[in-house]
Amino acid sequence: MGACGSSDNQSTTKDEVACIVPVGSNYLETITDAIGNTPLVKLGRALPPEAKGVTVLAKLEMQNPGGSVKDRIAKNMIEQAEKEGKISPDRTTIIEYTSGNTGIGVAMVCASKGYKCIIVMPQLPAMKERYAICRKFGAEVRLTCGVKGVPGMKIYVEDLLAKEPEKYWCPQQFSNQDNPTIHYTTTGPEIWEQTKGTVDYFISGVGTGGTVTGAGKFLKEKNPNVKVLAIEPTESRVMVGQPHTKHGIVGIGAGVPATFIKDMAPEQEWKEGPRGIIDEFVHCSTGEAVEWANKLAASEGILVGPSTGAAVKIASEVASRPEAKGKTIVVIFPSSGIRYVNHPMWAKIVTEAKDALPEPPNMDPEPLFRWNSSDFTPKS
């Protein structure tokens, strides 16, 4: 017998076939199989001195293939509907209304499975990347009046569903129980395993409320002493009974009470204090969210959007509490900052880049050196 896969005669034994044919090849069948099992990374340089002695761990949901935590719910809502026989690629057009990340997740899963897809978004400048990415996945994008927000998108989609129920199916991310369920069955268990059961605080923003209620429920069941904190924009604290006003923390603060949070205590008034498995409703302003997102990129090398900035701001405050010493905090990082280039948080750098890279470009051979970012002075 020669080397693996070779022989001195023309016959090939069963053992030799096993040697030359890969067994248990390490690849995934489709892109949706890459969703989940995101890394947990310890933060350090972005945190204040008061947080010393506290372990703050970031759950990097931007590492999902579609770039956000919403990939989890997109896959689960669609696959559960398939199992129940509600939808199939040959007869169903999937339509969802969204501020962006769920739309991208749905568009990606639809492309992978062969569904026609329509994504409905508000007609706002901050949607530009989301619009482009959904279109890149082959989805049709329809825009509704920005000032009417989620209620306006909901009315438009429900009208289509009523007119052609046999054609359209909507995941209904704000009310579909397959949303929090996937966080209960994947996100929560991942965190528990990654921390070896040492998590003391769990922090997440409130968009639909699926992440904080699903993962939070799992963690509370494993350890009732885990503190669950839900984040809203300071400008839109509807979960504690305050009015919704305009804000720039895309992805949270939709301006309507989250169904999954309401369902934990249906008769309870919307006010400050705990509700169900949520111990605290905390908040962050748009300005603070942008400040912390920028700080995280520059000091930790983690590029995030404003909702993650809000989460880090809250995590840093919790880590600075005397009672948090020696404890472990896990915070959800929902998406990457590259998805927010048209958000005001990028405005200064985008302006600088336009000056640095003029159109048309200067193609003269001399001089060799053309630009130093350190010398840039914004025009007043």
Residues 75 and 56 reside in one and the same domain: no
Residues 240 and 332 reside in one and the same domain: yes
Domain count, the chain: 2
Rg (CA), the chain: 24
pLDDT, residue 19, reads: 46
What span, in angstroms and rounded, lies between the C-alpha atoms of 161 and 139?
18
Given strand 55-60, what is the order of strands in its sheet?
A: 40-42, 55-60, 328-333, 201-205, 227-233, 280-284
Point out which residues pair with 107 in neighbouring strands: none
Residue at 213 is within a domain: yes
- Going by C-alpha positions, the residue among 300, 210, 306 that lies closest to residue 251 is 306
Question: The CATH number of the domain where 87 resides is what?
Answer: 3.40.50.1100
Is 329 in a helix, a strand, or coil?
strand
Residue at 231 is within a domain: yes
pLDDT, residue 378, reads: 83
The whole-chain average pLDDT of the chain stands at 92
Residues 218 and 160 reside in one and the same domain: no
pLDDT, residue 70, reads: 97
Residues 334 and 208 reside in one and the same domain: yes
Per-residue pLDDT tens over the stretch 131-185 = 999 999 999 999 999 989 888 999 999 999 999 999 999 999 999 999 999 999 9
Q: Which of 169, 196, 215 is the last residue of a domain?
A: 169
Residues 49 and 85 reside in one and the same domain: no
DSSP for 297-308, please give it.
Answer: HHHH---B-HHH
Domain range for residue 117?
70-169
Q: Provide the percentage of residues in the chain whose pLDDT is more than 90.
A: 85
The dihedral of CA 336, 340, 345, 349: what is its sign? Answer: positive
Residues 194 and 316 reside in one and the same domain: yes
Length of the chain: 380
Per-residue pLDDT tens over the stretch 290-330 = 999 999 999 999 999 999 999 999 999 999 999 999 999 99
Per-residue pLDDT tens over the stretch 358-378 = 999 999 999 999 999 999 988
Residues 153 and 252 reside in one and the same domain: no
Residues 137 and 241 reside in one and the same domain: no
Question: Nearest 5°: phi and psi at 42?
Answer: -75, 135
Residue at 370 is within a domain: no
Residues 240 and 91 reside in one and the same domain: no
* Residue environment code for 320-350, b if the CB has 16+ CB neighbours within 10 A, otherwise e: beeebeebbbbbbbbbbbebbebbebbeeee
Residues 154 and 222 reside in one and the same domain: no
Angle between helices 128-136 and 101-113 (to 10 degrees): 0
Residues known to be catalytic: 70, 307
